Structure 1
């Protein structure tokens, strides 16, 4: 019989995977993986500020990640540097500032490894309620901006011609990413959040024929990775967060096996970006 803490970890991880799947699809489609890394790295600065001002950790991480999104938008409008360069500056700067602030706060005991790599086995019932409540909010808002965000992924000019306001949809998507990162930080950690967003979506891309189907498959792949990773961690006594990511990587590697190997008709090759 599995212990209660293990069941809580399973429930929380599956909930996070279901939310991360659709968001990860847009990260893959729009080639925003580096932006996801930047948002994740800024989480440590959010942790430091939360401890300094004694506010809720999740709220602090969300606020900092949202401010990073706004800063990126403003810097992009000023021009002068490429988006990759700006993301690199913001990513490493926020991570470094967070680490320096943590070092100065000698009066606070901080489990830095826990924040960096997560501790899904320490999830409480309140955390689960927060994950599912926040996840429902994220999926509901994503459903509202799905059409303009998808249209702008295909063609920004086409989305503007249809009056869909793609810039507003993209900014809303970035805020949803900030919220998911804030929720996921305790489970898989700052350094592994982006992996859970990207790898299941990349796996789903091999099997999906429509954007909606890819979002569903990505959620299922993420849930399978969570379950496999947790059971593997239990069996081999390995860190739970990294083991979940390894399980996701194994699923992705399995998706690369040609369909003909299983006696299935091969899918047409080409870019499946909607």
Structure 2
């Protein structure tokens, strides 16, 4: 399997995607931003569709749309009372834009399928290098801001006491989330992006409580899903994203069962 160049590219890309998704996902769950991840996935779909229409690489369109809109949408939906309305409005608008751009482009329907459901086995060497650079950039920023981000996400009072500028941390994290959405969409597609950015982290919190341990476990769960998904996709010729979704959900169910058994005892 690894003698094939496209499978080697797929495993390298999925490894970096899983690591970044596991790290960012812990803070997504802690900050209760799963709703924003879903919204950014719709925005990413519109961006990728625009890129197809303009003749760009889909990832470039995703980055443009998600980064520019992440802070705006995040600030619009801070208040819980209007969160659902903002999600519905923004998601509906960008899904419509995505469909419009695809209909205006000269590309076939396969472009829409790749954007919506991912096409990791079709990633080129150049796209792998781009994914690695983006992943390293996200990782480096999180490493630099880890202490402030941890306080802001898990201990808001402690963050205030330590003098952390929570507005700056929030804006930077929203941009990092936008980058992560664009990166992870390459393997699971824009429709299923919340799988890698929420479920591994949500599963990890049932097994451990330390932030560093949660990050490590979320990365392991994400890697398990992507690597096994690639293997099963290669063996069966079924969509890789299906297997990733199935594996991550199974892990989450096991986590819930474990948590219930602990509480029962």
TM-score relative to the length of structure 2? 0.88
Q: Which residue of 1 aligns with 2:127?
A: 127
The more displaced of 37-46 and 181-190 is 181-190
**Deviation digits for residues 105-160 of structure 1 (CA, Å, limit 9, x no counterpart):** 3x344521111001111122222222222111101101222222221223445423
CA distance in 2, matches of 1:58, 1:89: 24
Q: Which residue of 2 aligns with 1:24?
A: 25
Q: Which residue of 2 aligns with 1:250?
A: 250
CA distance in 1, matches of 2:80, 2:198: 29
74 and 233 in structure 1: CA distance in 2 versus 1, 3 angstrom threshold: closer
CA distance in 2, matches of 1:32, 1:54: 32
CA distance in 2, matches of 1:157, 1:258: 31
CA contact (8 A) 1:45 1:61 kept: yes
CA contact (8 A) 2:71 2:174 kept: no
- CA-atom RMSD in angstroms: 2.6
CA distance in 1, matches of 2:22, 2:42: 20
Q: Which residue of 1 aligns with 2:204?
A: 204
Q: Which residue of 2 aligns with 1:140?
A: 140
1:134-213 to 2 correspondence within 5 Å?
134-213=134-213
1:3-152 to 2 correspondence within 5 Å?
3-73=4-74, 75=76, 82-105=82-105, 107-109=106-108, 111-152=111-152
Deviation, structure 1 residue 259: 7.7
CA distance in 2, matches of 1:55, 1:114: 14
5+ residue gaps, structure 2? none
CA contact (8 A) 1:120 1:187 kept: yes
- The structure having more radius of gyration, on CA atoms, is 1
Deviation, structure 1 residue 178: 1.0
Q: Which residue of 2 aligns with 1:272?
A: none
TM-score relative to the length of structure 1? 0.86
CA distance in 1, matches of 2:80, 2:235: 52
152 and 80 in structure 1: CA distance in 2 versus 1, 3 angstrom threshold: closer
CA distance in 2, matches of 1:235, 1:91: 35
CA distance in 2, matches of 1:157, 1:217: 26
Deviation, structure 1 residue 48: 2.9
Q: Which residue of 2 aligns with 1:221?
A: 221
CA contact (8 A) 1:123 1:187 kept: no
5+ residue gaps, structure 1? 270-274
**Deviation digits for residues 218-243 of structure 1 (CA, Å, limit 9, x no counterpart):** 11110011111122223333111221
Deviation, structure 1 residue 76: 5.2
1:227-242 to 2 correspondence within 5 Å?
227-242=227-242
Deviation, structure 1 residue 99: 0.9
55 and 260 in structure 1: CA distance in 2 versus 1, 3 angstrom threshold: closer
The aligned length equals 263
